[in-house]
Amino acid sequence: MATRVDPNFMQSLEKFGVKDWKGCFHCGNCTASCPLIEEEYQFPRKVIRQAQMGLKDRLESNIDLWMCYFCGDCTKTCPREANPCELMRSIRRYQISAYDWTGLSKKFFTSQKWELSFFFGIAILILILFAIFLPPSPELWTNPTRFINEQGGVMINNMVDGISGEKFLYIIHYGDWIMAFVAGGLLITNILHMFYLTLWRDKSVQIPFYAYFTQLWKLIYHFATQPKLRKCDDKLYWLGHMVFMTGYTIMFVLIVGMLPRFQIEEVVPWYNWQRILGYYATIGIIVFLIPVVIGRFRKNKCKLKYSHFTDWHFIIMLILTTISGILIHIFRLAGMPVATYFSYVIHLAILVPMIMIEVPFSKWSHLAYRPFAIYIAALKKAVVKKKQPEQVPVFA
Amino acid sequence: MNFEPTIISFLCNWCSYTGADLAGTARMKYAPNIRIIRLMCSGRVDPTFVLESFKKGADGVLICGCHPGDCHYHEGNYKCLRRYHFLKKYITQLGIEPERLHLEWISASEGKQFAELINSFTETIRELGPSKIKNVIETYT
Amino acid sequence: MEEIRIGVYVCWCGTNISKMVDVEDVAREIETLPYVVVARDYKYMCSDPGQDLIINDIKKHKLNRIVVSACSPRIHELTFRKALENAGLNPYMFEMANIREHVSWVHTSREDATKKAKALVAGAVSRVRWHNSLDKRFVEINPATLIIGGGISGISAALEIADSGKQVYLIEKTGQLGGFAAKIDLSSPFMYSAPQMINPKIDKIFKHPQITVFLNTQVEEMSGYYGNFTTKIKTEEDHEVELKFGNIILAIGLSTFDPSVIENYKYGKIPDVITSLEFEQYLISGKILRKDGSVPKNVAIIHCVGSRNSNYHDYCSRLCCKNALKYSNLIRAAIPDANIFELYSDMRAMGDGCEELYSATSRKNVMFLMFDQKNGMPDIREASSDDNCKMVIEMDEKLSGERVEIPADLVILMVAIEAQKEAKKLAQAIGISMCGNQFFIERHPKLDPVATTTDGVYIVGSCQAPKGIPHSVAQARAATARILARINVGHVEVEAATAKVNEDICCGCQTCISICPYSAISLDEEKQVSVVNEVLCKGCGTCCSACPNGAIRAQHFTDTQILSQIDGLLEKSLQLQEGLL
């Protein structure tokens, strides 16, 4: 069956951030220079070609693109300065929006207003919820010593009148769970949709059931070590990304999974595991974010040269979350209950909308999509090898 | 040891010799058994030339000229064609296999055809084996 | 009889020859042959030091015959003849053995190639012994020039020659001058208006006192020779006119491929499938509309229609890619929201400004789709009611490996450039060669691009191969420069190697007279012997082969010379035949 070409697709892709794409004349230098392609994954040329011809189905089902880490070698070698790297990134944004069945992702990627409104909407909701249900005790101002424990730190769970420390903790804890369930639930349905688009929609492909298990190790291995990124020239970037990724994963687990053991009243010595892990995560995030922000301003690295507004939003939200988190910690240790309370509320008012936007709908979701893409590619490979052993793609 | 024939070839200057040059320019490969003599026109191919070649030990003789209608001198190739048919009969009477003499039209652009012709003609002569006429002449003179 | 002293020079041609032929060995063995005084090998014989080597040897060793064993005599025979002349030797005391085109470039065994080279050189040595001095002959040149074809090439050549004060006869088969350049609107890639370029020139032609234009006229026959040609033509008014001229420029241009033979494209069946030439008319009229008067929303341009396809023409027509890009630009300007598709098999927009045009076009939202000439020719069909367009083109897109369909309301076929239908007849009438594609062949593709194998006949423009306006004009001016230089000298050298009758042997049988294609031989009634008119004789030698008693001699191709060459080629005194005989 022939597919109808769509000459206006590329223009619609411009909203996802692509620039300069018109120069491309399909020479294939991008593919030739790419350190990541393998025989079965061929890009960027193939993906670019599908985009140029407006073959949306192909783009949605294309899994190869997820092997790319945007090192920018293709853009460096492009003779027409058509910036394939940026095109790849834009197509990935398009793919993320295609996986999302709610349609919100597309809104967020193509409209800054939508994303900001959503962000502030949730932030204000959080502030209102605190104002109504967890208002600060007036004694924070009049009698601050009431909130200081024997180590001199602020008792963070006891700052609301009429609600015990334990109760406060569990309100937040369950709130976290609700947030994690909503965001995670959306992400999981999106991943299932991704499975549908890339794997199950094509009825001719039959995945043997056992392959779902035998290939599972790839999902974990790629999630945990990101071996593809390590193949790019910039090894330092891999290391930074690794520290960053483990940092926020730890933070996520501490907050969502183990809040009652993390957010404790007493101030434990620095060598306790809560604090060690917390410091590691914070430093990991900062150490990576600082050069990234500098890079995005300087625009001297291909990877960081072209910033879509969603990139900036993500960075800004992360920085604000991190700074407010650090402030809570400092104010707490300094024994400043009022500052602790407000920094805590602000921290949550930033963190919650960030998670709600980023996890299921925007840039952050690549954390889940990419290992799953590699998993799906492995599943596809298992089939291709079984059913059509001689099929080799003719054109890259 | 395999028999390697020697072939004398008469090419007209305007079409066939240029065609042979083209085969060279295009680096086409053909058998090294051929010895080319350039004439201005295939019409210049005197029957004596052919007979002398066989007498002196050539195993085959190849004549090439312009395609009919393309002769630089209007009609020299037709004259050649007439002599060719006559010569075919004549050498047969002398006891030379008629396949040893061959005429083919090669234009200035037919380098590929020229290379193919040399290979196929060399193969023909190789299968025929050495020409015996030289020994016959030596025996009787 | 003077003592024969032969010098033999074996050229390395850099590595071209020396890589496959042991040139030093060839020189060493040839030196042992009788009459050979010196035999040398040298890197580049055609270079100045190489020629000086010959000249010095001629003086030092008193050589009187020279053999150069190098490339084809078609390339450098004249070079070396000149060298002989410079050394005071008659240029015909020279023979060339072709061990490059006929040996080193075509063989793969160094041993065989060396053996063959020795044989060829031995043949040349054996032949050159019998060479005689021939004198150069000159004839007056008629300063008029005949130009066949009134397109941009013919017009440029005519003006150039006429402006120098020489007579030009310009013959055009149609009723108007301008050729294909007059049928297009803007020329790519720089978008100059073609009418604005060509119309002033046409006006000038008609007003020029030195140019006589014959419209609706064709040349049927040609007689005469370099410097003095004659033709009879029938003019529009049905007068028979005899024209005399010294040189001929063929500028008969091109015709276009008929796309109806490609069934996929439905040309002639679907009205809005048109050729590039028809689309030029749309552009000239200023309206890009479908046959029903509506504005096309989707325009598809198909490249290589009849070009680069072994079923039609193998060659590239050279102009279509840049013209197709021009169309995309013009359509984008005329219909800003149109979807434009270029279906190409390889983008070959070469030359000044063309790559830039390609780049600029691709930035105008034109979709380029590649097809495969062998397995993926596009297929045009009329659309059904729910297709939302008039035609649908289905094709295997080569770069993506996808089968896609393309909506189209107007399809432009970039038709191939073909040789003119009457080219063959003209080539036969004038005596020049054609290639397999019916284009005229130049004398040498690199070194002599506008001359032909017939002296005084030049080919310019697209009758030689598809080419655009600048190349055609350049060729036209190149040809006129050659002609004017010759006219300036006033006479031309004609073939010295003519036939010559030995009156003592001639029996007056008149066989030669009946056989001569140029009627150059007549009977001396008094002596009852044949006489050769040396001006008319072209030296083909057909008469010599026919003469029953060998009275007529083809100078420089005498029986003795050729028979000696055969001897030399089959020479056994050298060890060249072992394993061969």
Structural domain boundaries of chain C? Answer: 1-136+557-581, 145-253+420-492, 256-413, 498-554
Quick one: average pLDDT of C273-298? 95
Task: Quote the strand ranges of C314-469, DSSP E.
Answer: 339-344, 366-370, 379-382, 391-397, 402-408, 410-415, 417-419, 457-459
Determine the Cα–Cα distance for residues A316 and A302; give it in Å rounded to an integer. Answer: 21
The residue of A10, A22, A50 whose CB has the most chain C CBs within 10 angstroms, and thus the best one to mutate to test that interface, is A22
Which percentage of chain A shows pLDDT scores above 70?
Answer: 96
The residue of chain C with its CA nearest to that of B75 is: C517
Quote the tokens at residue C140.
């007056």
pLDDT higher at C413 or C443: C413
Confidence of residue C538 (pLDDT cuts 50, 70, 90): confident
pLDDT higher at A262 or C148: C148
Instruction: Say if C145-253+420-492 and C256-413 have the same CATH topology.
Output: yes
Residue-wise pLDDT tens digits, C169-218: 999 999 999 999 999 999 989 999 999 999 999 999 999 999 999 999 99
Q: Which of C73, C113, C569 has the CB atom closest to B8's CB atom? A: C569
**CB of B65 within 8 A of CB of B76?**
yes
The residue of chain C with its CA nearest to that of A11 is: C365
CB pair distance less than 8 Å for C400 and A4: no
DSSP states of C441-493 as a string?
PPSBTTTBSSB-SSTTEEE-GGGTS---HHHHHHHHHHHHHHHHHHHHH-EEE
Confidence of residue A385 (pLDDT cuts 50, 70, 90): low
Quote the pLDDT of residue C351: 87
> Is C125 an interface residue toward B (CB < 8 Å)?
no
Quote the tokens at residue A298.
């300087």
Residue-wise pLDDT tens digits, C221-249: 888 888 999 999 988 888 889 999 999 99
Residue C338 Cα distances to A187, C54, C288, C297, C390, angstroms: 40, 70, 11, 5, 14
| CATH number listed for the domain at residues B7-140 | 3.40.50
Determine the Cα–Cα distance for residues B140 and C323; give it in Å rounded to an integer. Answer: 74
Q: Cα torsion for A363, A367, A368, A374, to the nearest 10°?
A: 110
The residue of C513, C555, C566, C573 whose CB has the most chain B CBs within 10 angstroms, and thus the best one to mutate to test that interface, is C566
Residue-wise pLDDT tens digits, C140-181: 999 999 999 999 999 999 999 999 999 999 999 999 999 999
Minimal CA–CA distance to C535: which of C250, C224, C230, C254?
C224
Q: Which domains are seen in chain A, by residue range?
A: 9-99 (1.10.1060.10), 104-380 (no CATH)
For domain C145-253+420-492, give its CATH number from 3.30.70.270, 3.40.50.300, 3.40.50.620, 3.50.50.60.
Answer: 3.50.50.60
Residue C556 Cα distances to A205, A383, C407, C539, angstroms: 79, 78, 69, 9
CB pair distance less than 8 Å for C339 and A24: no
The set of residues, in sequence order, having a beta carbon less than 8 Å from that of A108 and lying 6+ positions away, is: A114, A115, A118, A310, A357, A361, A362
The set of residues, in sequence order, having a beta carbon less than 8 Å from that of C577 and lying 6+ positions away, is: B6, B57, C115, C119, C570, C571
CB pair distance less than 8 Å for C365 and A11: yes
Is CATH 3.30.70.20 what the domain over C498-554 is classified as, yes or no? yes
Which percentage of chain C shows pLDDT scores above 70?
Answer: 98
Confidence of residue C572 (pLDDT cuts 50, 70, 90): low
| Cα C505 to the center of its chain, rounded Å | 42
**CB of A376 within 8 A of CB of A198?**
yes
Q: Find chain A residues with C-beta within 8 A of C370's C-beta.
A: 26
Quick one: average pLDDT of C371-375? 91
Q: Which of B38, B43, B49 has the CB atom closest to C542's CB atom? A: B43
How many interchain CB pairs under 8 A, A with C? 71
Average of per-residue pLDDT values in chain A: 87
| Residues 51-110, chain B, touching C (beta carbon < 8 A) | 52-53, 56-58, 66, 69-70, 72-76, 79, 83, 107-110
| Statement: residue A393 has pLDDT above 70 | no
The residue of chain C with its CA nearest to that of A20 is: C363
Chains in touch with B (≥3 Cβ pairs < 8 A): C
Residue-wise pLDDT tens digits, C495-521: 788 999 999 999 999 999 999 888 889
Q: Where are the domains of chain B?
A: 7-140
pLDDT higher at C464 or C400: C464
Confidence of residue C574 (pLDDT cuts 50, 70, 90): low
> Is C365 an interface residue toward A (CB < 8 Å)?
yes
CB pair distance less than 8 Å for A25 and C403: no
The residue of chain C with its CA nearest to that of A43 is: C400
How many residues would you count in chain B?
Answer: 141
Task: Quote the strand ranges of chain A, DSSP E.
Answer: 3-4
Confidence of residue A37 (pLDDT cuts 50, 70, 90): confident
Quote the pLDDT of residue C269: 95
Determine the Cα–Cα distance for residues C361 and C186; give it in Å rounded to an integer. Answer: 16
The residue of chain C with its CA nearest to that of B109 is: C435
Quote the pLDDT of residue C578: 41
| Statement: residue C283 has pLDDT above 90 | yes
Q: Which of C101, C115, C434 has the CB atom closest to B24's CB atom? A: C101
| Statement: residue B138 has pLDDT above 90 | no
Task: Quote the strand ranges of C163-308, DSSP E.
Answer: 168-171, 186-187, 192-193, 211-214, 223-225, 228-234, 240-245, 247-250, 254-256, 273-275, 298-305
| Statement: residue C576 has pLDDT above 80 | no
| Statement: residue C573 has pLDDT above 80 | no
Confidence of residue C1 (pLDDT cuts 50, 70, 90): low
Residue-wise pLDDT tens digits, C421-446: 999 999 888 888 888 899 999 988 88
| CATH number listed for the domain at residues C256-413 | 3.50.50.60
The set of residues, in sequence order, having a beta carbon less than 8 Å from that of C284 and lying 6+ positions away, is: C184, C185
Complex ipTM above 0.90?
Answer: yes
The residue of A18, A53, A62 whose CB has the most chain C CBs within 10 angstroms, and thus the best one to mutate to test that interface, is A53
Q: What is the CA radius of gyration of chain C?
A: 30
Is CATH 3.30.70 what the domain over C1-136+557-581 is classified as, yes or no? no
| Statement: residue A196 has pLDDT above 80 | yes
The set of residues, in sequence order, having a beta carbon less than 8 Å from that of A90 and lying 6+ positions away, is: A13, A16, A17, A18, A308
Determine the Cα–Cα distance for residues C335 and C283; give it in Å rounded to an integer. Answer: 13
| Statement: residue A396 has pLDDT above 80 | no
> Is C76 an interface residue toward B (CB < 8 Å)?
no
Quick one: average pLDDT of C100-122? 95
Count of other CB atoms within 10 angstroms of residue A71: 22
Minimal CA–CA distance to C399: which of A202, A377, A56, A53?
A53
> Is B127 an interface residue toward C (CB < 8 Å)?
no
Indicate the residue type of A330.
Answer: I
